[in-house]
Structures are given as C-alpha cells and as structure tokens.
Structure 1
Amino acid sequence: MKLSFIVTRIYLGFFILITIMLGSAWFSIQATTQMTERVEAITNDSTPLLTRSSELTIAFLNINRSLTDYLSAMYLDELDPLAEKVTNRIDAYQTQSNWVVQHVKSKSVLETAIMQLVDNETTVLDHIGSVTTLYSAYLDAKDRNEFQQSTFQPLANQLTSNLVSGLSLAQQEPERHAIQGMLSQVNVLSSDASKAFSMQDIIELRSSKRSFSSRQERFELASEQLKVHSPKLYRSSKQAMDLFAQHVFSDQGSVAMHIQTYELFDQLLTQQQQLNSLINAQLDQIGILSEYAAQMATQMDREASDSAKQTMSVLAIISAVSTLIAIVIGMSIASSVKKPSQQVQKALQRLAEKDLTSKVNYNKDNEFGYVAKKVNLVLEHLSETITQLSTSADRLNEASIENQQTSEKLEHDIREQTAQTTQVATAMKQIECSVHEISESANQTLTIVTDAVEMSSEGQTMMKANSDLLGTLSSRLGVSTDTIRALEQEVASIESILEVISGISEQTNLLALNAAIEAARAGEQGRGFSVVADEVRVLAAKTTKSTLEIKEKIEQLQTRTEFAVSQVIMCADDMKQCMTQAASVDCNLQRIYQQLNDIEDRSTQIASATTEHQAVASDVTQRVSEIFELSEHSSQRFGKLSQQGLELERMAQQQLELTAHFKLPLKRENMVL
C-alpha cells in the first residue's frame, strides 16, 4: 500500500500504537518477573530460614525444658527415662541445626555466625552432659548421705545410753570422770553432727569439718581414759565408739558424706549457671539467623516495592506518549478526510438537483481519489441512461400496440383455463378431508408421547434424587465405619493402659510382700509398717481384681465394636451395590427418555407436516377457487387491456417530459466544479 492512502496511515498509526503497547507489556512482564524472582527468593530463602531458625529455637528450648525436668527429679531411678528424653531432644535439635548449617554455609555474611553457632552448640552439649552426670552423682551421694544419717542417730543414742548406764554403775571417781568425759565428747560431737546435717552452705560445712578434725584428738584421749579406768565399759562400747568415730571423723563417714554431697551440689549450681549463660549465648546466635532472614525478607520486599513504583512511572509515561501519538494520528486522518469528503458532498448535492454536468475535482492517489473517479463515472453512466430512457419511451409506444393484439389471444386461453380449474378444485376438496383425518390422528399420538416423556422425566428425576440419597447414605456409612474403627483403636489403647495398671498393681503387691518380710525381720519395731504393707497388698489385690473386670468389659466392648464394624462394612457394600443398580436404572431411564424424545420430535414433525399439508391443501383449494374467480375476472380485465395500451402511450409521453428536466452535458468531457 502507498503511504498516501488513508487506510495505510490508519494501519501505520495502529502499528505504532500496538508496538508501544507491546513494548510497555514487555517492560511490565520484565518488572513482574523481577518482582516474582524477589518473592521466590523470600519464599525459598528467607521464609524457610526464618521458620527453621524459629524451629531451632524451639528445639533448643525443648532441650532446656527436658533438662529442667531431669534436674527436678528427686530419686536416682527417675533419671533414665528423663535422660532418654534429653537425648531425644538433643537429636531433634541437631537435626534442625544440621539443616540450618547446610543451607546457610554458602552465605558469606553468616559464615562467622554459623561457626560461632556450631562452636557454642558443641560447648553447650558438652556442658549438658557434664551437668547430667554431675546431677546423677549428686543424687547418688544424697541417697547414701541420707542412709548414713539414718544410721548415725540410732548409733549415737545407743552409745549415749551405754555410757549413761555405765556412769550409773561406776563407783570410783576416776572411772566416773572418764565416763563423763567420753559422754561429754559424744554429746558434743552428736550435737555438732546434727548441726552439720542441717547446714547447706558449703563454707559453713567446710568450717564444721575443720572443727571435727580438732575434736578428734579429744575424743581419742577420752577413749583412752575410758579404756584405762573402765575397761569393761570400754569393751562393751568399743564397737559403737569405733562406728561413731568413723561416722564423725572418717572420709567415708556421714559428716564427710554430707559435706561431699553439698560440694557436688555447689559444683552443680556453678555448672548450671555456666550452662544458662551458654544457652543464652546460643539463643542469641540463633536470633542472629532469624534477624538476618527477617532483614533479607524486608530488603527484598522494599526492592520489589521500589521496582513496582518505577514500573508504574514508566507505564504512565508510555500511556501519555501513546495518547499523544493517538491524538496526532487522529488529527492527521481527520484532515485527510475532511476536504475530499466536502467535494464529494457538493457533487452529490448537484446530482440531487438533477444537474449531471458537474464533476468531482480531486485527483490524489488515495481512497477519496478513487471515490471521485467512481462518482464521475456514475454521472457519465447516468447521463447515458437518461438519454437511452428517452429513446426507449418512443419504442414503448410501439410495444403497447403489439401488447393489445396479444391480449386478445390470451383471453381465449384463459377461458379454457377456467374449465380445467373447476375440475382441480373438486379433487383438492377430497384431499383436504383426508389430510384433516391424518392430522387429528397425529395430534393424538403427539399428546400420548408428550405425556410419556413427562412421566419418563419425572422418573429420571426421582431416580437421580434416590441415587444422590444413596450416595449421601454411603458417605455417612463410611464416616461411621471410620468412627467405629477409631473407637476400636481407642479400646485397644485402653487395654494397653490396663496392662500397665495391672503390672503396677503386681509390682505394688510384690513391694508390699517385701515390706511385710522386712517388717517381720524388724520385729516389734516393724509392726506398724507391717500393717501398712498388708493394707497396700489388699489395695493391690483390689486393683488387680478391678483391672481384670475392666479388661473383661473392654474385651466385650471390643468384640461388639468389631461386630459393628463388620455390619457397617456389609451395609456399605450393599449400599455400593444398590448405588450401582440405581445408576444402571438411571442409565436405562435416560435411554428411554432419549428415545421418547426422539419419538416426540418425530411425532411433532409428523403433526406439523400433516398440519402444514392440511393448510396447504386448504390453501390450494382456496387458490384454485380464487384462480377460477380470477379467470372469470381476467376475461373482463383483458377488455380493458386495450385501454391500458392507450395509457402506456400516454406514460411514454410523460417519460419524455421527465427526461427533458435533466441537464445533460453537450460533450463527453469532465466539467470542473
């Protein structure tokens, strides 16, 4: 196409606008891609790191909680399950830590933080092992200390009682003085030992230990005096005095054991403080990871927001430029259309005034130039046509005379046509009666088929509702099956709990039996404890009996639950079979409905065809009657045809007068506007 064409200019303008739109779309896609990449970076890097660091913090705090439970245990036999719990929490933490280290070690920004995190982790786990070991040793020492203290006080009372008895039997003053000296040392040492047992400050305990060391010489001197002045009492009390001295002065005695216990406790407190400091430091290191992930997400979000603003600004500029270009293109096209359209309008106005001498003077090589050429060509053709029309008017006069002669011959033919039409009208009346009977039968058949289609549709609707109801019932049976199975699992879990309770009752019974044996060995002093052991044994027996009864009930419930599950499963299978049959019936109803629809359509077509046939037959009969009437009238009208020939002659004269009104060019040359 040439550039002078208006369509070419329009295409060029649209091409420029489309190019600008595609460029803006490409720019928008690029910006959207960048934003998507940033969002994916947030999703793939920042969010998992933030989530994992939070999970790492939770796992580390879980270690601290399990360690707190471990350090809260009062007895040594409680430590094994708690230690296993601490180990499991440590394994879970290390799993989280390994993931974080593997996914963050490639980031140079966090290299120092990761190294510090790993170092702190190793140190913390080592301290946790030390604390758990030390706490186990502390509980062991505490148990042995309590046992030593429980044997010390009866020993001191026995020794005091022996010395008091010997003092009451002593008759000589040196003997009495020696016994009183030993009794005084025993009382003082017993009192100091009781005070030491009540102390918990390690400094006071160590001071008390030094005081016991200074009193050891006095005790030995009093023992020598007792041996010299009261050898009989010395021999009878020697074993008790040796045990007493071992408790008070020996490194394995109850006093030394008490001091060692609280030394372990002091070490435990020190290591706990160090461990708490290390835990806080480790939490700070994990917090650095979380802070880095949050900062990275914030930075990427800020970059995405800035990129979106920049994209909006560029798109606004592109929109403004596109609007300006569209305005320029529109004004250019309007200026190209306005002038030639005015010239063509003037030429058409003169044509409306019956002036065929003017032409359109527009010779540019575009659409309006072609229109101007075509308008000029139409004017030339119209001039020639009117000239020829004037010539034809003369010939029309001659043709009217020939037409009058032909009309006379046609009148004779119409009379014969009238006779034939009468016979056709009689036959068409008979056909009309037959078609009327066929139409009534077809309408009755259509009514019956329509009722059958409606009943089939209602049956299909009811079958579909039944199928939906069966599906709902099947879903509810499935939910009931799952619920009963869950109940069966819960019953099984209750049975395992009952086994645990039964085991506990057996252990309680065994412990009560052992306690009764120990009470029997203790004699008179263990009588009260024997009564308690009997009560515990009776309670254990009742617990065992109740557990067995509950177990029987649970087994009955489990049996009935299994029976209910099997019944529900059978119902569900029957329901599925019923749904399958319902679907098959629904499919057959749909086929019947489709066939009835086909029958209804064909019946409708037959009824319509017969109705149309009847209407056509009636119409043909009527037409034949009308033709008969027209034939009669035609003979009358052809009488007037001669008169119309004269009228044609007059009309030809009028045509000559009308063509004379047009102003025709004298020469075949273009007249300039």
Structure 2
Amino acid sequence: MLSEISASSERLAAAAEETSAISEETRNAVDTQKDQITQIATAMAEMAATVKEVERAAVNTMKTVDASTQLADKGEKIVTQNGERIAHLSEEIEHAAQVINQLDEYSSNIGAILDVIRGIADQTNLLALNAAIEAARAGEHGRGFSVVADEVRTLASRTQESTADIQRMIEELLVGTQKAVDVMKRSRDEANDCVELSESAAQALREISEGAKTINEMTTHITEATKEQASVTEEMHKNIEAISNISEQTADGAKDTHQAAKEQAELAAHLQTLVNRFKT
C-alpha cells in the first residue's frame, strides 16, 4: 500500500512538474502573442490614422481640382469670346480695306477725268490764243472778240491751275490711301494671328479642363475607396482590440494556471518528502 502511494506521489510530482513546465511555456507564448497583438493594434491604429489622412488629402485634392476645372472652363469661355471679337474685328478691318481700295479706284478715275479736263483746258487755251491773234489782225472789228478770247484764255489758265491742284491732292490722297491699305493689311494679319492664338489657348484650356475632370473622377474613386478602406481598417482595429482584450485575459489565465501548476508541483514534492520520511 505504501509502495503504491509512493509510486503515485512520484507520478503526481512528475506530472506536476511537467504541467508547470507546460504552463510556463504557455504563459511565455501567451505573453509573446499579447505583445505581438499589441504591436498589431498599434500598427492598425497608425494605419487607420494614415488612411484618414489620405482620405482628407483626397477630398482636398478633389476640391482643388474642381476649382481648377471651373477656372479652366471660365478661361476657355473668355478666350473663345475674345477670339470671336477679334475675328469680328478682322472682318471689319477687311471691310474697311475694301472701302479704301474702292476709294483708291475712285481717285484713279477722278485722275483720269482730270487728265481729260486738263487736255480740254490746253486746247481751249490754244484756241483762245489763236482767236486773240486773229482778233488782232482784224483791228477795230476784232477788239470785242479779243476781249472774249482773253477771258477764255484766263478761264483756261485757271482751269489748268485748278486741275493741277486737284491732281496734287489726289496724288497725296492716293499715297495716304496706300498707307492706310498697308496698315489695314498688317492689322488684318495681326488680328488673324490673334484669332489663331486664341483658338490655340482655348484648345489648351479645354484639354486642361478635360484632364482636370479626369483627375477629379480618379480622385473621387480614390476617395470612395479610401473611405471603404477606412471603414474596414476601423472594423479591423476594433477586432484587434477585442483580440487584444481576450489575449490579455488569456495571459492572466495562463499566469493563474502557471501559479496553480507551480503550487501543485510544490505540494507533490512535499507529499513525496512526507512519503519518504514515512518509509524510513
């Protein structure tokens, strides 16, 4: 009977020591797991904060892109309106150039008419001179005719002077007209260049607006995805916190188990000591 008690106490002591060792390993493993879960929880909290920051940045980016899109659209409208006004101005300049060209033609026609008048005046002056000569030959009978011939010659001279003045003014007008035509041509060319530049600027602004809209769509998708990620991350963080709480409770239980196993081993050792004393 005593030998059976001794054998049982030995097995109990061995089992208690083994249980104590296992509980020690379990406690260490649970402590390690607790530390790892704490680190994961901290990392999840940091990641959640980062996701929130990314979400805020995405929202701010979307607002900025919206503002840029509106500015680009407004700029495109302004440039297009300016281009239309410049195109209208170019048409007006072209019309003015046509009017000046017509004035040039009219001036040339007037010059031709003046040439005819000048020729008539020359012939009239020559006829008046011949009439004066004939009147001088006629003596007293040709005196009245001589007076008329002098008046005709005087009128012819005035006509020649007037036509010369008109011709000079027409030539000056033609010079001024040609300068005006040249200026109109340069203005028209510059207006056409401005129209082309306005069209290019409007096209560039349209491309900027389209690019901004594309970025806005992408940013919207990123914002939505970030919100979903933030929601999932927050849920994971809650789960990790729950696991951390359970792990902490498990660690406390492992400590209690280890302490109980240790006390059991001490009791088993004490029992073995008493049995050995009883044997002696």
Q: TM-score, normalised by structure 2?
A: 0.64
Work out whether 1:614 is the aligned partner of 2:230. Answer: yes
1:509 paired residue number? 125
Q: Given residue 71 of structure 2, which amino acid in structure 1 is its aligned partner?
A: M
User: What displacement does 1:598 show?
Assistant: 1.3
**Pairwise CA RMSD of aligned residues?**
2.8
Question: Among residues 53, 58, 64, which one is paired with 1:448 in the alignment?
Answer: 64
Q: Distance in 2 between matches of 1:434 and 1:571?
A: 60
User: What displacement does 1:618 show?
Assistant: 5.5
User: What displacement does 1:459 show?
Assistant: 2.0
User: What displacement does 1:603 show?
Assistant: 0.9
User: What displacement does 1:511 show?
Assistant: 2.1
Q: Distance in 1 between matches of 2:235 and 2:75?
A: 43
Q: Distance in 1 between matches of 2:235 and 2:130?
A: 123
How does 1:52-201 map onto structure 2 within 5 Å? none
Q: Distance in 1 between matches of 2:178 and 2:213?
A: 51
Q: Given residue 486 of structure 1, which amino acid in structure 2 is its aligned partner?
A: Q
User: Which digits, 9 at most, give the CA deviation of each residue in 1:444-490, with x for residues without a partner?
Assistant: 22122222222222222222122112112211111111111111111
Q: Distance in 1 between matches of 2:228 and 2:72?
A: 29
How does 1:295-314 map onto structure 2 within 5 Å? none
2:6 paired residue number? none
Q: Given residue 560 of structure 1, which amino acid in structure 2 is its aligned partner?
A: G
Question: Among residues 102, 107, 114, which one is paired with 1:498 in the alignment?
Answer: 114
Q: Distance in 1 between matches of 2:141 and 2:229?
A: 128
2:4 paired residue number? none
2:75 paired residue number? 459
- Structure holding more helix per residue: 2
Question: Among residues 509, 529, 540, which one is paired with 2:156 in the alignment?
Answer: 540
Q: Given residue 495 of structure 1, which amino acid in structure 2 is its aligned partner?
A: G
Work out whether 1:435 is the aligned partner of 2:46. Answer: no
Q: Distance in 1 between matches of 2:227 and 2:216?
A: 16
User: What displacement does 1:509 show?
Assistant: 1.2
2:145 paired residue number? 529
User: What displacement does 1:572 show?
Assistant: 1.3
User: Which digits, 9 at most, give the CA deviation of each residue in 1:608-628, with x for residues without a partner?
Assistant: 22223334556788999xxxx
Work out whether 1:599 is the aligned partner of 2:212. Answer: no
Which consecutive unaligned segments of at least 5 residues does structure 2 have?
A: 1-36, 241-280
Q: Given residue 118 of structure 2, which amino acid in structure 1 is its aligned partner?
A: S
Q: Distance in 2 between matches of 1:538 and 1:596?
A: 85
Question: Among residues 571, 588, 594, which one is paired with 2:187 in the alignment?
Answer: 571
How does 1:363-374 map onto structure 2 within 5 Å? none
1:555 paired residue number? 171
2:263 paired residue number? none
Higher relative contact order structure (alpha carbons within 8 Å, sequence separation ≥ 6): 2
Q: Given residue 583 of structure 1, which amino acid in structure 2 is its aligned partner?
A: E
Q: Given residue 586 of structure 1, which amino acid in structure 2 is its aligned partner?
A: A
User: What displacement does 1:565 show?
Assistant: 0.7
User: What displacement does 1:567 show?
Assistant: 1.3
Q: Given residue 119 of structure 2, which amino acid in structure 1 is its aligned partner?
A: G
How many residue pairs match? The answer is 201
Question: Among residues 163, 173, 197, which one is paired with 1:581 in the alignment?
Answer: 197
User: After TM superposition, which residue ranges in structure 1, 4 or more long, deviate above 6 angstroms?
Assistant: 619-624
Q: Distance in 2 between matches of 1:467 and 1:615?
A: 50
User: What displacement does 1:534 show?
Assistant: 0.8
Q: Distance in 1 between matches of 2:107 and 2:178?
A: 11
User: Which digits, 9 at most, give the CA deviation of each residue in 1:483-526, with x for residues without a partner?
Assistant: 11111111111111111111121121122123223323433222
Q: Distance in 2 between matches of 1:496 and 1:484?
A: 18
Q: Distance in 2 between matches of 1:501 and 1:549?
A: 13
2:89 paired residue number? 473
Q: Distance in 2 between matches of 1:517 and 1:581?
A: 75
How does 1:314-325 map onto structure 2 within 5 Å? none
Which consecutive unaligned segments of at least 5 residues does structure 1 have?
A: 1-422, 625-673
Q: TM-score, normalised by structure 1?
A: 0.28
How does 1:340-355 map onto structure 2 within 5 Å? none
Larger Rg: 1
